[in-house]
Chains A and B, each alone.
Chain A
Amino acid sequence: MYGDTSIQKPIKIAEPTSAEQARLEEIFQQKIDDDIKIEPQEWMPAAYRKTLVRQMSQHAHSEVIGMQPEGNWLTRAPSLRRKVILLAKIQDEGGHGLYIYSAAETLGTSRAEMIEQLQSGKAKYSSIFNYPALTWADMGTIGWLVDGAAITNQVALSRGSYGPYSRAMIRICKEESFHQRQGYELLLTLSKGTKEQKEMLQESVNRFWWPSLMMFGPNDANSPHSAQSMKWKIKKKSNDQLRQEFIDATVPQAEFLGITLPDPDLKWNEERGHYDYGAIDWEEFGNVINGNGPCNKQRLANHIKAHEDGAWVREAAAAYAEKQQKKRVA
């Protein structure tokens, strides 16, 4: 999801309308092929800009909405240590949202517009954040699996062709490692705990495993227009490639925790040098993306409420700034 917008209507690629247009497109593609980053003021095809705005805003919204499942547990963290860690992690996610909004704005779409599209349901965000965080173990599982999947995706995105997005990803990747490690450490603690704690750990992983795999988006065969994104190096690796990377890295970590993953087909394939895994329930994915997941309504309602409750602060600060400005002029 972080790097995949193929669940939405494809963006039309217009044929060049003039010889000049064709020449510009050729120069552009040459830069991409030569791994020269594209910067904001430079010429770019309209569909490249549009694809990026869609993907980046979707990514930024995911960071911001992603604060909610974890925010749910802040007041119930079992120790001050866990509480300050969780708080710092959630604050980072807010920061990630802001880095990416800031990068997306360089393409000429304002943050207010992007937020309006989120709140009206026009823009999507990662399906994973529409699942509830039901137990304390979920705080560990989210860090380990959800941030783990996000890292796999974001490392690939940090090599993308658009300068500001790639730089935001580099910054984010540096911070994500803490997110995954704190989650895994939390789960390790549970794995050495009481019978109830071990059960809580296993139950949480059972719920999050498949939704985490869905984060990479549809299978390559069902993601036809991502070929264009690959050609433009907006995407550097396909959904299935990234999913496989994540699974291969994660299975040994699950073994170390002493837990099982809820997929009877999951096994090492010597020939491929990768783990085989079972079929993903894409119907569930479609439902959650299209608004019928367990928490979609709540997530958006919370976002809108926070936005509206903060309106008076934004207005007051703007009025204050205007007043100061007038004083200075006078």
Chain B
Amino acid sequence: MPKHTTEQITEKEWPLWEVFIRSKAGLDHKHCGSVHASDAEIALESARDVYTRRSEGISIWVVPSNAITASKPEDKESLFEPADDKIYRHPTFYDIPKGAGKM
């Protein structure tokens, strides 16, 4: 049996960090998971061990999970739907005669 009760462990559990990795030069950092770590440096090292064992990255960001503000799923409509009917924002909306050349 473990000595610690769930409560005691939870209290001492290292905070959670979200991990973002740039897989090669020229690409964006991409979210890939999370790690528990006592501080940012250890979070970086753990992220290296956990998520880049096969040269999957050349740069890592770690961000405290609780520092992220996320949009809510229920706000999806009010946030994103206004863009749906603005078809004139896309190049295919415009008819350009062939004679004008490649555009």
Q: Mark interface residues in A36-56 (1 if CB within 8 Å of B CB, else 0).
A: 000101110000000000000
Contact A41:B38 (CB < 8 A) given known A92-B53, A113-B10:
no
State how many angstroms separate the Cβ of B68 from the closest Cβ of chain A. 11
Which of B9, B38, B42 is within 8 Å of A116, CB to CB?
B9
- In the assembled complex, the Cα of A111 lies from the Cα of B34 at a distance in Å of 12
Tell which of A4-12, A183-191, A287-295, A313-321 binds the partner: A313-321
Residues of B close to A320: CB separation below 8 A: 38-39
Contact across chains for B38 and A318 when beta carbons are under 8 A apart = yes
Give CA–CA (A320, B42) in the complex, Å. Answer: 11
Decide if B10 touches A308 in the complex (CB within 8 Å). no
The residue that A95 contacts in the complex, of B5, B6, B39, B50, with Cβ under 8 A, is B50
Compute how far the CA of A124 lies from the CA of B13 in the bound complex, rounded to whole angstroms.
22
B16 interface residue, CB < 8 Å from A?
yes
Give A111 to B12 CA distance when docked, in angstroms.
Answer: 12
A43 touches B39 (CB 8 A): no
Given A95-B50, A95-B53, the answer on whether A111 and B73 have CB atoms closer than 8 Å is no
A168–B39 contact, CB under 8 A? no
* A308 CB contacts on chain B under 8 angstroms: 2-3
Interface residues of A (CB under 8 A from B): 39, 41-43, 88, 91-92, 95, 98-99, 102-103, 105, 110-113, 115-116, 119-120, 168, 171, 175, 304, 307-308, 311, 314-315, 317-318, 320-321, 324
